Amino acid sequence: MKSQSSDPRPFRVMVHKGIADHIRSWRFAILIALIVLTFIASMYVSLANIKSATGNTKDPDHLFLYLKLLTTTDNSIPPFHVFLSFLAPLLGISLGFDAVNSEQNSGTLTRLMAQPIYRDNLLLAKFVSALVIVSGLFTALALLMIGGGLVLTGVRMEPQELLRILAFIVITIAYVAFWLSLSIMLSIVFKQAATSALTAIGIWLFFTIFYQIVITLIVKSFLPDPAYLSQTEIISYNDLILNLQRIAANQLYSDAVTTLLMPSVRSLGPVTMEQMAGAIPAPLPFKESVMIVWPQVSGLMASTVGCFALAYYFFMRREIRS
């Protein structure tokens, strides 16, 4: 007979309980309302300016109406994918900052671990339940955007647009998964939920606001004045700064979604005039855009796996009875 610990049913029960706890929590409801409101505001501004955006024949992407719904703005508010680069980390942090330490402080973790279940099943259930919620949220928003566009414009969606929007959703989920795994790891390292939440928010603020400034200052202090450099050296100089900035997850996410939602983007780094000579401003096929952003996607996935592996290591070595 199989032991109860190898039965997949306890894992499913823990996932279902985690999903129910997230849905009933006030912090999740507030963040969902905030993301939905920004989505509605961005869609309202996009629809108000969609005629001018699709009528601009100088724009190589003017025929992609549904991609324009996600990127068009009149500069009064940022487009939706820019909003997500700020709000998605908060969603991941809010779902994971007290995943383990709150249960240990309340005493439920000891009782749960007394049952015939694996430790890694508990940690994986925390991660999967939050990721299911996030996946459902962004999938629903994408379907709402597609349905609203069909009703209001009556324009058929092209297959390439659908593929790009689906890839945008997948990358956004991976971006949230990184911050979720990081916050779960911090909930294991720190005993107090407030400490893990403040640490995660501090990391998010540093990489969102201060990291680019710090990198620019450090590089400028070691390299000569760009005014005295040749064009090739300036390109190498800017490429170095850009590569250092890509250590941050928000830069990887911004590069990836910008390339996918704007098919005419052909490069994510500095380009010389010789490289641009003879280039025709036309949208790239979906496969070519994926090839451009694949390093960014791989970096996001590797960061997520690394944070979750550290969380697994710390949790397996943690004394849960203290």
**Span 276-289, pLDDT tens digits:** 545 566 788 888 88
Phi, psi dihedrals of residue 129, rounded to the nearest 5°: -65, -40
pLDDT score recorded for residue 269: 59
pLDDT of 5: 45
CB atoms inside a 10 Å sphere around CB 68:
24
pLDDT for residue 6: 47
pLDDT of residue 321: 62
- pLDDT of res. 307: 92
Q: Note the pLDDT tens digit of each residue in 294-319.
A: 989 999 999 999 999 999 999 888 77
Asked if residue 4 has pLDDT above 50, the reply is no
| Residue 139 backbone phi and psi in degrees, to 5 | -65, -40
pLDDT band at 270 (very low <50, low <70, confident <90, very high): low
SS (H, E, C) 273-313: HHHHCCCCCCCCCHHHHHHHHHHHHHHHHHHHHHHHHHHHH
What is the reported pLDDT for 310?
93
Tokens of 37: 């409101």
pLDDT surpassing 50 at residue 3: no
- The pLDDT score that the predictor gives to residue 279 is 55
Average pLDDT score over residue span 39-62: 77
b/e string for 243-264 if b means 16 or more Cβ within 10 A?
A: ebbbebbbbbbbbbbbbbbbbe
Closest CA to 65 of 176, 134, 164, 140: 164
* pLDDT tens for each residue of 77-136: 788 888 888 888 988 898 888 888 888 887 777 787 777 777 788 889 889 999 998 888
pLDDT 10s digits, 202-254:
999 999 888 888 888 887 777 776 667 676 777 777 777 788 888 888 889 98
DSSP percent split of the chain into helix, strand, coil, nearest 5: 75, 0, 25
- Identify the pLDDT of residue 199: 94
Q: Report pLDDT for 202.
A: 93
Query: Rounded to 5 degrees, what are φ and ψ at 90?
Result: -65, -35
Residue 281 has a pLDDT of: 65
Q: Note the pLDDT tens digit of each residue in 124-182.
A: 988 999 999 888 888 888 888 888 778 877 778 888 888 999 999 999 999 999 999 99
Q: What is the mean pLDDT of the chain?
A: 82
Cβ burial, residue 116 (10 Å; 0-12/13-18/19+): exposed
